[in-house]
Amino acid sequence: MSKSWITKVSIFTLTLTCLGALIFSGVSLAMGSQTIVPGVTVLNADLSGLSREMAEGRLLLLEKEIIQKRPLVLRYGDRAWQVQPGSLGLTIDTDKVVAQAMGVGRRGSLADRFWQWRKAGKEGISIPPYVKIDKPRLEKEMGRIASEITVPPRDAEIRINPDETVEVVPSRDGIGVDCEKACRDIGRLYENGDFDVEVRISLKRSSPRKTTWEIATMAINGLLASYATTFDPGEADRSYNIKMAGMALDGLFISPGEVFSFNDAVGSRSAEAGYKIAKIIMNNEFVEGTGGGVCQVSSTLYNVVLLANLEILERSNHSLPVHYVPPGRDATVAENYIDFKFKNSTPGFLYLKTLFTPGRIIVKIYGDLKNRQEITIRTEEVEVLPFKEIYDYDPNLGLGEVRLKRKGIPGSRVVAERVLVENGLTRAESLPDSRYRPVDQIITLGPGVQPPLADTP
């Protein structure tokens, strides 16, 4: 072996050794610290040597100094709008930017890591300022500023004529801003570090939620049943609650076989939801409570559902009789634990309509007139439940004085049936019994008066 050849081998080995040392040295530098390697920037902001938390703080400052202060120009044709990026929910995606910055010198093979580290230190590596856009806010702001050039879609709907005939109001396509494209264009704009270029708005056709064809094929062509109850319009808060709950039913469609839940349809009856304090029944007494009056709506609905010959799945009577429907025909509800449910047992769609006149609520059910039937409801009190007499002592009354503090009301058990007349034949269907508790009579006794002795068997 010649000296020349041995020398070349030695030089080659030494070169490999040095290269390996450099690679491992670079990898060691890149991996041995939880900071960003030197030479990494975002929009000329130096992130060299920063920890993850420090880099996130730097990016938040950058967002305020550069992105949030520069208005964004949106253009459509010869119209232009300036908007603040914050109104679009535009922010730097700090997680994505910092992850990419921290990854320099830490990704790929050992050789890749070395070259990343070397390039950052020698030439610098710029990370794009990735942005996040709050799409709901973007859509809202775009809809606001571009309202002159957009047309909202219109759903097909049912129109009820004074003679109870039904018309379908046709749907209409809309024209709106292509927010998906706007998001992509704005994102590219910032990632390229270009803050002065306009974003051109593109429009797209928007479809209604309910089309003319969908409503027409429901075959809703007439009134199946109607029921009305009255209330005192002078009781302002109770009247308000009745209208709130009633309007939640107005315009609802019920598909064949669908189970309708009153609680689901009306929602919360809390003060936060807008309901007011009025009389409710609690612990066998009429007391003040939030949402008083809602049970009149559920009871009105119960009666029209009976008259439409729909299947009752869940119904409870009040503990005391109510004034707005006959005994045996009320349906109490209580949020989260007492519901009124029925099933659309017809082969067609149903449509609910709620109307109000002073002191009156009317609930109507429309559908295919082929499913209309002649229905009557019969009720009968079959048992009277006597009340008890309860005696209280009041030393403030006069000697021998007796006062009636609360008049007793007997309870009752009421049975009901739904009577169907079809092809000249009558068929009766038993409905659930209603049991109303008696209200005890309370008598207050003054000094010197003894309650009567209880009867002994």
At 380-436, the pLDDT tens digits run 999 999 989 999 888 888 888 889 998 888 999 999 999 998 877 889 999 999 999
Q: State whether the Cα torsion 205-206-208-214 is positive or negative.
A: positive
- Rounded distance, CA 177 to CA 145, Å? 10
Do 222 and 364 reside in the same domain of the chain? yes
Q: What is the pLDDT of residue 242?
A: 95
The alpha helices in 260-403, defined as continuous H runs, are 262-266, 294-307
Do 233 and 306 reside in the same domain of the chain? yes
Do 304 and 349 reside in the same domain of the chain? yes
At 281-303, the pLDDT tens digits run 777 667 777 888 999 999 999 99
What 181-185 contacts at long range (C-beta under 8 Å, 24+ apart), as own/partner pairs, is 182/74, 182/138, 182/142, 183/133, 183/135, 183/138
Those residues whose C-beta lies under 8 Å from the C-beta of residue 444, and which sit 6 or more positions away, are: 391, 392, 393, 394, 397, 402, 403, 404, 405
| pLDDT band per the 50, 70, 90 thresholds, residue 26 | very low
- Rounded distance, CA 104 to CA 100, Å? 7
CATH number (domain holding residue 416): 2.20.230
Coil/strand/helix, residue 262:
helix
Q: Is position 407 within any domain?
A: yes
Q: What is the pLDDT of residue 281?
A: 78
- Kindly state the average pLDDT of the residues 303-315: 96
* Of 56-65, 165-174, 271-280, 446-455, the least confident: 446-455
Q: What is the pLDDT of residue 351?
A: 97
* Of 91-95, 215-219, 327-331, 449-453, the least confident: 449-453
What is the crossing angle of helices 135-145 and 179-191, to 10°?
A: 110
Residue 117: pLDDT above 70?
A: yes
Do 348 and 389 reside in the same domain of the chain? no
Q: What is the pLDDT of residue 195?
A: 65
Do 349 and 384 reside in the same domain of the chain? no
Q: What is the pLDDT of residue 45?
A: 83
Tokens of 14: 């030494």
Number of compact structural domains in the chain: 2
| pLDDT band per the 50, 70, 90 thresholds, residue 354 | very high
- Rounded distance, CA 296 to CA 325, Å? 8
Provide the percentage of residues in the chain whose pLDDT is more than 90. Answer: 44
Tokens of 142: 């775009």
Do 283 and 338 reside in the same domain of the chain? yes
Do 385 and 353 reside in the same domain of the chain? no
- Kindly state the average pLDDT of the residues 151-165: 93
Mean residue pLDDT across the chain = 86
Strands 311-314 and 259-261: what pairing? unpaired
Those residues whose C-beta lies under 8 Å from the C-beta of residue 198, and which sit 6 or more positions away, are: 73, 74, 75, 80
Do 310 and 246 reside in the same domain of the chain? yes
Q: Is position 73 within any domain?
A: no
- Kindly state the average pLDDT of the residues 216-240: 94
Q: Is position 198 within any domain?
A: no
The greatest distance separating any two alpha carbons of the chain, rounded to the nearest whole angstrom, comes to: 140
- Rounded distance, CA 39 to CA 124, Å? 5
Q: Is position 309 within any domain?
A: yes
- Rounded distance, CA 61 to CA 59, Å? 5
Do 231 and 323 reside in the same domain of the chain? yes
Do 390 and 364 reside in the same domain of the chain? no
pTM beyond cutoff 0.95 = no
Residue 24: pLDDT above 90?
A: no
Residue 262: pLDDT above 80?
A: yes
Q: What is the pLDDT of residue 320?
A: 87
At 51-61, the pLDDT tens digits run 888 988 888 88
**Where a domain ends, among 368, 385, 407?**
368
Q: What is the pLDDT of residue 219?
A: 92
Q: Is position 249 within any domain?
A: yes
Do 351 and 228 reside in the same domain of the chain? yes
Q: What are phi and psi of 141, to 5 degrees?
A: -70, -40
- Rounded distance, CA 117 to CA 110, Å? 11
**Where a domain ends, among 321, 349, 368?**
368
Q: Is position 94 within any domain?
A: no
* Of 165-169, 230-234, 411-415, 419-423, the least confident: 419-423
**Where a domain ends, among 335, 352, 368?**
368
Q: Is position 305 within any domain?
A: yes
Do 359 and 225 reside in the same domain of the chain? yes
Q: What are phi and psi of 118, to 5 degrees?
A: -65, -45
- Rounded distance, CA 165 to CA 172, Å? 23
At 38-85, the pLDDT tens digits run 988 888 788 888 888 898 888 888 888 777 777 888 888 888 888 888
Q: Are 312 and 323 in contact (CB under 8 A)?
A: no
Q: Is position 133 within any domain?
A: no
Range of the domain at 285: 218-368
